[in-house]
Structure 1
């Protein structure tokens, strides 16, 4: 697949422009409604599918099917990521109007980290072909572990990332609007919103370890791996606000995602030395597994309405009082004082 440099630049430019549009549209802190989330989800899916159609027209059906297979795998695995975010936000009592800012920066960081992971994975595959055996074994092991631990959920309070952050970064115990840093008494402090952002980024890195090898199982083209990841990730914020309070209804989704990982792990093993499974079959298998798991989940939980994950009785963080807000100093105060 011959991809000119200007195409890479154009795709990256489009991503930056769309992120800027999204940030401008949500520049004021407000609670994202289900309707607004549905509209934005439709927009992001339309862009993702439209890009696949463009690949079909320019590079042909085979590469387009590889892109769609990667896009579907990433989009499906991202649902599990969305549910983890819901648990994090609920546990730390993050006000709904501040969640979009955290997710925007979280997705921006995810694009950067995944770009680095994809580049590193491509270099490893090119120079050490035997690494594919490790990728395949890892996907099989992860899929099996996901099935075995399907009822195990993240406990944010026990997160090693959060413990390290609290140990080395001085912070307040109250949210100060959408600010990640505040200055009190001349001391620069992190707000709980920054701790939540760090935890969101850490969980995405963990999910990327699964999803990127999975996409390499359906395509060797770095351009397709990156674009499938990027277009799937760009819609994660809207997907969160659309699905966060439906987490309890997707009871079989984790089993479906596990089977997808096992399937692509088998495909990767066979592709190395034995037999190449056509992309059409891979795409059909992934789509069937995800569809069946979603339909079975919704049928099993018919009649259950929307509700957020259960919140702790005593959340570790709270909203700052008016007196605490008044005590916050401008972040540039120390620098200005030093200049005088």
Structure 2
């Protein structure tokens, strides 16, 4: 069914309300969240997504409820992998721990607004030109192969090169004052580096959407469900950052698992494109109705199965390697020199600032 405008309006208002609630209850008073706080709020947002799925099942139907939870799970899994870059950005810009929540929340809010524009544009393109599924499928298959190859490389994740240019575009001070936007420097009001961090986080997440948006359109073509899956995944991303920061280095098979998921969705999209075919050089422009459509239950089973296997395999592997020592948010597991490479004006010595964010080591020993 078509989702009425008023439901869109109410939904967007509620999502904005959650961001405002987050700001006034957690971010307005600068502090470094404890593992307990991050854990409980992560559970809250995951439970909220499950409640939304159940409500969809009763109000709409269970087919769409399944599409939502499959899309949400995919977005959540991809966002975990993206936290590596977030950690590097935080360390490279030497963000004080008490200011990290504000940077994350506003950066994520910017990303959600831009993703909304992507989703609406993508839905309009799909409705006007169904053959774009071929492009989405080819892109996801390419990304799946690339991610699988990269997962076997013994390399630290790198800062996106364009992030270093942010300093040239937006002039800012080298100094912070808690989580303040501006400080008085040489008699003038100037931006603190926090503005650079927020822009870097927002646009970095937008680049991640080039993978995740086509992937979720491969699960459901309903724009409302695509938006809600993205909204729920991003709303809990701030808490997940603080909760899982010290555990990222143990998920050594996550990249490989995500490669399988992207490849599966790429095949699913290709099957759908062939089933709805309009290209004249394929079967004379007629749909290939004998091509099966992959059902949502199979997508759910595959996505959850791969994530479970990747997680269990990672735990078994790290324990076998003797890497199961306790890890906490706030301990730097990787070298700061690797983290700061690529940000102009940042030195390895500066990264030793005790207020800088931790960088999780991403050394998949199996590669």
Contact map agreement 1:217 1:268 (CA 8 A) in 2: yes
Per mean C-alpha deviation after superposition, the further-off stretch among 302-311 and 49-58 is 302-311
Q: How does 1:174-253 map to 2 (within 5 A)?
A: 174-185=175-186, 187-253=188-254
Residue 70 of structure 1 deviates from its aligned partner by 0.5
Cα 1:180–1:59 shift into 2, 3 Å: same
Q: How does 1:8-157 map to 2 (within 5 A)?
A: 8-26=8-26, 27-150=28-151, 151=153, 152-156=155-159
Contact map agreement 2:91 2:351 (CA 8 A) in 1: no
Q: Distance in 1 between matches of 2:206 and 2:257?
A: 21
Residue 109 of structure 1 deviates from its aligned partner by 0.7
Residue 186 of structure 1 deviates from its aligned partner by 5.1
Q: Distance in 1 between matches of 2:301 and 2:248?
A: 25
Residue 197 of structure 1 deviates from its aligned partner by 1.6
Helix, strand or coil at the partner of 1:63 = helix
Cα 1:83–1:161 shift into 2, 3 Å: closer
Structure-1-length-normalised TM-score: 0.89
Contact map agreement 1:246 1:308 (CA 8 A) in 2: no
In structure 1, the residue matched to 2:340 is none
Q: Distance in 1 between matches of 2:79 and 2:149?
A: 20
After superposition, what is the alpha-carbon deviation per residue over 1:282-311, rounded to whole angstroms, capped at 9, x for unaligned?
A: 111011011111111122123232143423
Cα 1:143–1:153 shift into 2, 3 Å: farther
Larger helix proportion of the pair: 1
In structure 1, the residue matched to 2:326 is 305
In structure 2, the residue matched to 1:161 is 163
Contact map agreement 1:45 1:235 (CA 8 A) in 2: yes
Contact map agreement 1:90 1:309 (CA 8 A) in 2: no
Contact map agreement 2:82 2:208 (CA 8 A) in 1: yes
In structure 1, the residue matched to 2:313 is 296
Q: Distance in 1 between matches of 2:163 and 2:249?
A: 26
Q: Distance in 2 between matches of 1:168 and 1:230?
A: 29
Residue 2 of structure 1 deviates from its aligned partner by 2.9
Q: Distance in 1 between matches of 2:105 and 2:183?
A: 20
Contact map agreement 1:146 1:255 (CA 8 A) in 2: yes
Q: How does 1:262-277 map to 2 (within 5 A)?
A: 262-273=263-274, 274-277=291-294
How many aligned positions are there?
Answer: 318
Helix, strand or coil at the partner of 2:325 = coil
Per mean C-alpha deviation after superposition, the further-off stretch among 78-87 and 285-294 is 78-87
Helix, strand or coil at the partner of 1:276 = coil
Contact map agreement 1:252 1:296 (CA 8 A) in 2: yes
Q: Distance in 1 between matches of 2:352 and 2:188?
A: 20
Helix, strand or coil at the partner of 2:190 = strand
Q: Distance in 1 between matches of 2:171 and 2:6?
A: 44
Residue 51 of structure 1 deviates from its aligned partner by 0.5
Q: Does residue 279 of the first structure (1) align with residue 306 of the second (2)?
A: no
Root mean square deviation of aligned Cα: 1.9
Residue 96 of structure 1 deviates from its aligned partner by 1.4
Residue 264 of structure 1 deviates from its aligned partner by 0.2
Residue 265 of structure 1 deviates from its aligned partner by 0.4
Q: Distance in 2 between matches of 1:138 and 1:309?
A: 33
Q: Distance in 1 between matches of 2:354 and 2:84?
A: 24
Helix, strand or coil at the partner of 2:183 = strand
Contact map agreement 1:34 1:241 (CA 8 A) in 2: yes
Contact map agreement 2:170 2:196 (CA 8 A) in 1: no
In structure 1, the residue matched to 2:349 is 314
